Amino acid sequence: MTLDQVILFTVDLLALFSIYLIINLGLNLQQGVTGIPNFGLVLAVAGGAYITASLSTRLAIYLLNVHTNLDPIVNNVSVLQLVNPILRSSPSLSIGLLALFLVIGGASGALMGLVSSAPAVRLREDYLAITLLAFGEILNVVGTGYDPLIGGPPGTSLPDIFGWAGQYRFYWATLIMLLVAVMIFVYMERLVRTPFGRVLKAIRDNENTARSLGKDITRYRMSAILIGSILCGIAGALWALYSGAVTPSYDRFDYTFLPWLMILLGGMGSNIGTAVGTLVFVTLDELIDYFKYSFAPFLPFNVVWLNYLLLGLLTIIILIYRPEGIIREKWASVPAAPPPSPTGEAKPG
């Protein structure tokens, strides 16, 4: 491979990595830290993507003072032809809009989180997992059926907020996404080390005891779901903006199953584990994608299905032989260090 190809590959990989890292951190908080089996992540991710997409063009028109009679969704291509030049000429305006869209993405995620938390209050384990899975399906139905949202099956495009970077568009976009992902990672690490994080883990380990210690279980669980969903919403919005367009095809495989696989691989409960799992996985996945066609002559079937087979089998193997993942959860210690006992500083993990 040439240097150019390697760079392209890496950039591609990092973009994907950033998005998934955000989603997975959200899932980790819910499942790894608090013990809530959210099999309906796709709801929050798609929610972030679709709602942001839906509002993005409309807001762009409004804020940039573009006058048009065209419908922002149905005629999105034409409308965007008016909007994009403005964005391309002004990086600060674009970044500003980006921030706005991310907030919208997060808010949409929160909304979806609220929806998801309703059953989470009453149900546990299997029941909850199944229900959340079912919930996850609903958004695609709405997206496909309700045209004003994102234009039905063909979907819609979003304003080109990375356009100002010209030919370096993808590099800058990836950089920004990576930045957002890192910021979120740092935030999550700090969150987990607070007394709040401690209570979440306690709830995961033994809910009844936590309750008898006076903790409001419902509130904590809801918080975990909300935060996780906000993260997913942001990721969804980011991906939509990066891709430039959205179709109602955000499916369970990509956004629920894969995140589970990734946090399993890396080790549930620890954020670093999540990051490692995400990195390893995304790298593997990209490698499979890039090289599968060279395997084609050796395989008796169409390589397109290779991903499914390999990933499914990989998950099963991990579950049987090493369910803790690559990095076991290290007990994040308490920050303060009083004289008599070596309470320890915050360990990585």
Residue list 150-189, contact with another protein (CB under 8 A): none
Q: How do 245-246 and 156-157 pair as beta strands?
A: antiparallel
Question: Does residue 41 bind another protein (CB under 8 A)?
Answer: no
Residue numbers 314-343 binding another protein by CB under 8 A: 315-316, 319-320, 323, 329, 331, 333-336, 338, 340-343
Q: Which of 114, 296, 309, 346 binds another protein (CB under 8 A)?
A: 309
Rank residues 295 and 305 by Cβ distance to another protein and give the closer one. Answer: 305
Q: Which of 84, 144, 243, 283 binds another protein (CB under 8 A)?
A: 144
Query: Contact region for another protein (CB under 8 A) — 59-67, 96-104, 171-179, 298-306?
Result: 298-306
Q: Which two tokens stand for residue 173?
A: 């976009």
Rounded to whole angstroms, what are the CA distances from 273 to 75, 189, 282, 293?
A: 44, 11, 14, 31
Residue numbers 237-266 binding another protein by CB under 8 A: 252-253, 257, 260-261, 264
Rank residues 166 and 195 by Cβ distance to another protein and give the closer one. Answer: 195
Instruction: Give me the least distance between CB of 105 and another protein, in Å please.
Output: 20
Instruction: Give me the least distance between CB of 47 and another protein, in Å please.
Output: 15
Instruction: Give me the least distance between CB of 35 and another protein, in Å please.
Output: 8
Instruction: Give me the least distance between CB of 159 and another protein, in Å please.
Output: 27
Q: Which of 82, 100, 129, 245 binds another protein (CB under 8 A)?
A: 129
Would you give the binding string for another protein spanning residues 204-223, x where CB under 8 A is met? xxx-xxxxxxxxx------x
Chain-centroid distance of CA 280 in Å reads: 16
Instruction: Give me the least distance between CB of 331 and another protein, in Å please.
Output: 5
Instruction: Give me the least distance between CB of 144 and another protein, in Å please.
Output: 7
Q: What kind and span of H or E run contains 156?
A: strand 156-157
- CA gap 201, 192 in Å, rounded: 9
Length of the chain: 349
Q: Which of 46, 177, 234, 311 binds another protein (CB under 8 A)?
A: 311
Q: Which of 141, 179, 287, 346 binds another protein (CB under 8 A)?
A: 141
Residue numbers 52-111 binding another protein by CB under 8 A: none
Nearest to 281 by CA among 304, 249, 315, 252: 315
Rank residues 12 and 137 by Cβ distance to another protein and give the closer one. Answer: 137
